[in-house]
Amino acid sequence: MTRRRAVTFRQRLAAWTLGLLYLAIVVAFSIASPRFFTLTNALNVLTQASVVGAAAAGLTLVMLTAGMDLSIGSTMLLASAVGGALVVWADAPVAVALGAMLAVGVLVGLVNGLLVVRAKVSPIIATIGVLFVARGCGLWITQTRALNLPDEFRQLATARLAGVATPVWTLAAVTLAGWLITSRTAFGRQLYAIGADERVAERAGVAVGRHVMAAYALSGLTAGVAGVLLLAQLATVSPGLGRGLELEAIAAAVLGGVSLFGGRGAVPGAVFGALVIQTVRNGLNLVDANPFIYPLVTGGVILLAVALDSLRRGSPARDAAGP
Amino acid sequence: MLHLHDISKRFGRTQALSGVSLEFPAGAVTGLIGENGAGKSTLMNVIAGVIQPDSGHMQLGDAPYTPHHASDAHHSGVALVHQELNLVPSLSVAENLALGAFPQRGLGPLRWVDRRTLAEQSDEAVRRVGLDVRHDTPVGRLSPGERQLVEIAGALRRRPKVLLLDEPTTSLTGPECQRLFGLIERLCGEGLAIVYISHNLGDVAQLCGRTYVLRNGTLAGRMERQGFSERQAITLMIGQPLEEVFPERSGRPAEEVVLEVDGLRLPGAESGASLRLHRGEVLGLAGLMGSGRTELVRALFGLDPRPEGRVLVHGKPLPPGSPRAAIDAGLALVTEDRRRDGLLLDGAIRDNVALASLPRLASSPAGWVSPRRVADACDPVATRFRVDSTDFGRQMVSSLSGGNQQKVILSRWLVTEPDVLLLDEPTRGVDVGAKCEIYAEIQRLVDAGTAVLVISSEMEELKGLCDRIAVMHRGAVSGEFRRGPAGYDDQQLLAAAFGRRNEQ
Amino acid sequence: MTDQPLGSAASPRSPAAWVRSAPPVLWLCAALAVAMLALQPPANYAAAAEQVLLATTLLAFLAIGQLFVVVTGGIDLSMPAVVSLASLVAATLSKQLELGVAAGAVVCLLAGVGAGALVGLCHGLVITLLRAPPFLVTLASLISVEGIAVWLTGGGRLAAEEEAIAIWYARLGPLPVPLLYLAALLVISQVTLGRSYWGRCLYAVGQNAATARVCGVPIRRTTACAYVVSGALAGFAGVLYGARLYSGSPSLVELDTLLDAIAAVVIGGASLLGGRGSASGVALGALFIALLGQSLNVLGLRIWHELVVKGLLILAAAMLDTWAIRRRR
């Protein structure tokens, strides 16, 4: 009895720690720089966090099933290459290009899902394989050249609605949708069960395979969305686009309380994780810190997330070597 | 209600079921007993649609019943309550109950969980089994007994015609058991066909109108309530009178104390446990599930922390937290769950046997391990134990039967030449043949002076094997019984298991 | 691979059994080599072979280092950063200490390998003591160590004492010295994994850590050592990369090299779930990746062909693997 409470207390503590930490970060930067605590800067941070935040939202669904998606960055490149090629070479309307980008995302996600569910390849390997293939296909399309997009595309990122830029609205919509899916739909609740214990879910009659597949497809979709957001900000399809972004999304999700072992976490948490990382970067930028220490700080923040996760898990795992 | 005709199922080289025909009438509790590995769980899974039989057919009411998937069984009105709980601790009671079929509402393809209906359904289902928990309580906060009732509530939610209960009482306290039996009888009165699978023959005798006995995948016999005797049930289960299974003890335990546990207090327990084990003695450790038997052994072996208490081997204190130190001091531990922490399933038989002795087999100081030396040390032991394999160096443990896997683990510890052998459920999931070999090996070791400590949930096993039985309750030893001329007194053992102090 | 017990590098086998046990995808390796030979004039053979083998050597140090960790069921994502850090430390020390060629060369080596081992030790400690997922710990390290490297140098290169560091990438007559390292690495890692107490512990931990613990395997020490070795080998690779350029740099290898190393491990028959893989298999995997890279020019392939083929091969290897495991069960 007493032990059960203790864990709950530690879990609460861990959940609060990130919030308190964020508060401390905000206060510290507000004192250090007058430009930090302003509405403009807040919207800036949100815009900058939108790419990784959106990707992390979909990734959360996959991670809830105890899966992993390392192909996010490559998916973004492939989607951008397809979108860019349509706009630049085929003179397609921007709307068509956007639709195609999202479709590419879903498609890559479905391939991941098929590999994990049907071929029973472990998620890390499956998505690394798809990472290579998607990146290869993306470069194939662009022939490793940089593709400059017309201004219409850039306007996607700069257009404002009620004074707030579209990427922020997009991020908000993705977060809200992700939250509704995970907390209010049968599919979402069943994802938690799958991640906690796949056999239990199966015995209860949950269509495990279909659900996992859908989780990967949704992760692909949000990778497509993230691709659109990134492309709109860059206005160029470069060969290195999206590289390493999957790692940032994973870091954000874990920081936000999503467990690598499945069954625990929430979409808003993951997006919040992305926000924390971006806030730190933004703050460092405003106080004119040496830009070379940004990665150091990001790495430190991930390590912090690791420590938090280990606190959250509480009871000692029997095996020292995790997955 | 449910009829099974001539069901057979084969897994690889083992015939799990052969030609089993049973019938489970409506409005009655039918017992299903048999040893571990007798085919009970396979049969359950066949009925629940998890496994498809190789041959034979089933009939539910008047219609043929051919489930291809667990959900087919649900829809046909067959519900199964598994032995291990099927609950997700992080989800709420209501969500667990509704896991496979959430109540939903919404527009067209947009559907979301109908939370009010979810709560109402949960409250109703929980009330039906006489439990009082809120629908939004995370299952992780419930006691084992409460979880069992939630599990049954979940099974009943789909209004089944047939309800299968697999060992429902293993984690329940006495009052919780009686509450469950009351519930079963009530459900029976409502016309359900209930299949009750249990090791506890007393429960079976109390509840079941008719009891089927399985042995090695076949139907060994059938007993009605009037003619039920535990003795006959056991004979049917193991295929021979009990006396013939356990070897005659020849020697007497020596006076020398090999292992002494002094006031070892487990986390969460109020008092410590103390034990003494003598050279050439078999000590049984009995108790209900959760009484701390496994935890005690794991703590003394150094696998789990032991905040308080001492362990002495040959009078020398054993440092806590180091299985290596325990092994070096002459201890050996056969764990409860082979698959979880007993075997390297994807490893070769020889690698598994050698694992605990590697530092001794390695040529120090470089630590090189010569394959020949390993083979020379391990193969004779595995051969003597008749581990069924032609190639110890290549064949993987996962391809062996349960009995042979257990022999591999025992071989591993025999290679370390232990003074104290700790056995946690050594014959769980093992066929009768291998069981007899394991008993004979224990006897041989004891005669050679090894001290053996056996944990078992099967009272008959402890009574047949042990010179002494210690009973645990809430982490402490609540009674110790020496084998008398007439064996042991069941009443006393049981009383001690429920924590009543004994006057012996 | 299919009918072998996992992690049984130690059991003596006939050559025929060895051939059967080779990861099936590696037959493609032979096919690719033959194709490359066929498309080149014989005069180029030696040069082409040398190039492929040198590329293999660099990759093999990373991939086999990775293997030690992968066998325990872990992963080391920090390698690109460790390579950079090691090259920088080696370059700086060789320049600053002014010890002359011989001593400078030794310092280069010790500094590079030492720096790598130190980072590995940190990983090992955090992973075993905090029970933290290796994926995240080494990811954090990848990001921050690279940050440290860039911070220290301001993003540019640091010149090393040329003659001292170049010794490690020199030629002995017609033979490039790194090929000797490759041979030594192969022999030592194969024997260590298959025939040492520690090697067997690594496999046991990867197959089932709980069982290994019951059997007295020192889980923490075994696991932590795997990360130290992985870091040290990456550090050595850093010295080699540095020696090739006579300098240290914060961006010697990219993330793609890490993925190449992981790909070599998977294609070479190791399982990312732990408990399985051999040094020889992984070296063949590295050879294959190197061949693929070289064939770009020779076969007129482009980078995207390479990426797609690599990805498909990883998937093929993984699928064959699960298929083989399912058949065995």
Residue C35 domain-assigned? no
Subunits with at least 3 CB pairs below 8 A relative to chain B? A, C
Amino acid at A152: E
* Measured distance CA(C248)–CA(C88) in Å, rounded: 4
Chain C: partners with 3+ C-beta pairs within 8 Å: A, B
Using a 10 angstrom Cβ sphere, with 0-12 exposed, 13-18 middle and 19 or more buried, the burial of residue B227 is: exposed
Q: How confident is the model at residue A14 (pLDDT cuts 50, 70, 90)?
A: low
| Position C103 in a domain | yes
Q: Is residue C178 part of a domain?
A: yes
What is the mean predicted confidence (pLDDT) over A16-27?
A: 84
State how far residue A316 is from chain B, nearest Cα, in angstroms.
10
Give the pLDDT confidence score for residue C317 in this predicted structure: 78
Please compute the mean of the pLDDT values over residues A314-320 and round it to a whole number.
Answer: 38
pLDDT at A10: 58
In a domain, C108, yes or no: yes
Which residues on neighbouring strands pair with residue B15, listed in sequence order?
A: B10
Establish if C74 touches chain A: CB-CB under 8 angstroms. Answer: yes
**Contact across the interface for A250 and C132, Cβ inside 8 Å:** no
Report yes or no on C213 lying in a domain.
yes
The mean pLDDT of chain A is 86
**Residue C9 lies inside a defined structural domain of this protein:** no
Which chain A residues are closer than 8 Å to B86 by Cβ? Answer: 197, 199-200, 203-204
| Closest by Cα among B366, B327, B322 to C219 | B322
- The pLDDT of residue C158 is above 80: no
Task: Give B33-93 as a DSSP string.
Answer: EE-TTSSHHHHHHHHTTSS--SEEEEEETTEEE--SSHHHHHHHTEEEE-SS----TTSBH
Q: pLDDT at position B380, please?
A: 93
Of A187, A193, A185, A178, the closest CA to residue A264 belongs to: A193
CA–CA dist C136, A65 (Å, integer): 18
Averaged pLDDT, A58-77 = 94
> What pLDDT band is residue C263 in, cutting at 50, 70 and 90?
confident
Question: Which residues in chain A have their CB less than 8 angstroms from residue C225's CB?
Answer: none
Q: Please judge whether C217 and B371 are an interchain contact, meaning their C-beta atoms are less than 8 angstroms apart.
A: no
The verdict on a CB contact (< 8 Å) between C311 and A136 is yes
Q: What is the pLDDT of residue B339?
A: 83
**CB proximity list for C1: less than 8 A, separation 6 or greater:** C21, C22, C23, C24, C269, C320, C321, C324
Contacting A residues, span 231-250, partner chain C, CB-CB under 8 Å = 243-244, 247, 250
Contact A303/C137 with Cβ under 8 angstroms?
Answer: yes
Scanning every residue of chain B, which has its alpha carbon at the shortest distance from the alpha carbon of C17?
B394
Let me know: does B112 contact B104? Beta carbons within 8 Å. Answer: yes
Q: What integer pLDDT is reported at residue C8 of this predicted model? A: 42
Give the residue ranges of chain B where pLDDT is below 50. Answer: 502-504
Q: What is the ipTM of this complex?
A: 0.83
Give me chain B's average pLDDT, please: 86
Calculate mean pLDDT across residues A48-76. 95
Of chain C residues 140-169, which have a CB less than 8 A from chain A?
A: 140-148, 150-151, 154-155
From chain A, pick out residues whose CB is under 8 angstroms from the CB of B50: 203
Asked if A266 contacts A257 with a C-beta cutoff of 8 angstroms, the reply is yes
Domain assignment of residue C21, yes or no: no
Chain C: closest CA distance from residue B308 (Å): 21
Q: The domain that contains C323 carries what CATH number?
A: 1.10.3470
Say yes or no for a CB contact (<8 Å) between B91 and A4. Answer: no
Percent of chain C with pLDDT over 90: 35
How far apart (Å, rounded) are the C-alpha atoms in residues B250 and B248? 6
Q: Which of A131, A313, A322 sits opposite C311 (nearest CB)?
A: A131
Taking only residues 272 to 291 of chain C, the set having a beta carbon closer than 8 angstroms to any beta carbon of chain A reads: 272-274
In the predicted structure, residue C9 carries a pLDDT above the cut 60: no
* Number of separate domains in chain C: 1
What percent of chain C has pLDDT above 70?
A: 89
Question: Model-level pTM?
Answer: 0.83
Alpha-carbon span B431 to B406, nearest angstrom: 10
Tell me the average pLDDT across A277-292: 86
Q: What is the mean pLDDT of residues A254-279?
A: 89
pLDDT in tens, B258-317: 999 998 988 878 888 899 999 999 999 998 777 888 999 999 999 988 888 899 999 999
Show residues of chain B in contact with A314, CB under 8 Å.
none
Q: So what's the pLDDT on residue C295?
A: 77
Put simply, the answer to whether B346 touches C214 (Cβ < 8 Å) is no
pLDDT at C208 exceeding the cut of 90: yes
pLDDT interval class at C123 (50, 70, 90): very high
Q: Indicate yes or no: CB of A203 within 8 angstroms of CB of B111.
A: no
Number of Cβ within a 10 Å radius of residue C12: 9
By the 8 A CB rule, do C185 and C64 touch?
yes
pLDDT of residue A80: 94
pLDDT in tens, B126-155: 888 888 888 888 888 887 778 888 888 888
- The pLDDT tens digits of the residues spanning C34-62 come to 887 788 787 778 888 888 888 999 999 99
Interface with A, mutate which of B50, B80, B82, B88 (most A CBs under 10 A):
B88
Asked if the bond preceding B25 is cis, omega within 30° of 0, the reply is no
Domain containing C129 equals 45-328
Q: Do B113 and A189 touch (CB under 8 A)?
A: yes
C146: confidence class by pLDDT, cuts 50, 70, 90: confident
Tokens 């197959």 correspond to: C207
What's the alpha-carbon Rg for chain A, to the nearest Å? Answer: 20
* Alpha carbon distance C37, C48 (integer Å): 9
Question: Can you give the pLDDT at residue C18?
Answer: 60
For chains A and C, CB pairs below 8 A equal 194
Cβ distance B71 to A205 less than 8 Å, yes or no, reads: yes
In a domain, C248, yes or no: yes
Round the average pLDDT of chain C to a whole number and report it.
83
For chain C positions 228-267, those within 8 Å of chain A (CB to CB) are 255, 259, 262-263, 266
Beta bridge partners of B31: B196, B211
